[in-house]
Amino acid sequence: MNEMLEMGASQPWPEALNVVTGTKQMDAKAVLDYFAPLQVWLDEQNTEANRQCGW
């Protein structure tokens, strides 16, 4: 963590991410997995009420 923080603004953020995680890529899979039960429940509630959510 210190190595990443020492970089400051001298390197692009993907380089700092690579120092911490070992990869320059990141995704939201962990967040989606955490909220998956809530998503299932919301989908059920909307289906039962015959609602369609979206923009």
Cα–chain center distance at 22? 17
What pLDDT does residue 32 have?
A: 96
Is 53 within the bounds of a domain?
Answer: no
Residue at token pair 């299932």:
40
Reported confidence tier of residue 55, pLDDT bands at 50, 70, 90: low
Top-confidence residue, 20 or 40:
40
The pTM (predicted TM-score) of the whole model is: 0.53
Residue 16 lies in a domain: yes
Mean pLDDT (the chain) is 87
Residue that wins the pLDDT comparison between 33 and 3 = 33
Asked if residue 54 belongs to a domain, the reply is no
The number of folded domains in the chain is: 1
DSSP of 1-55 = -HHHHHHTTSS-HHHHHHHHHS-S---SHHHHHHTHHHHHHHHHHHHHTT-----
User: Which structural domain range is residue 11 located in?
Assistant: 2-48
* 29 belongs to a structural domain: yes
Tell me if 55 is assigned to some domain: no
Q: 23 lies in a domain? A: yes
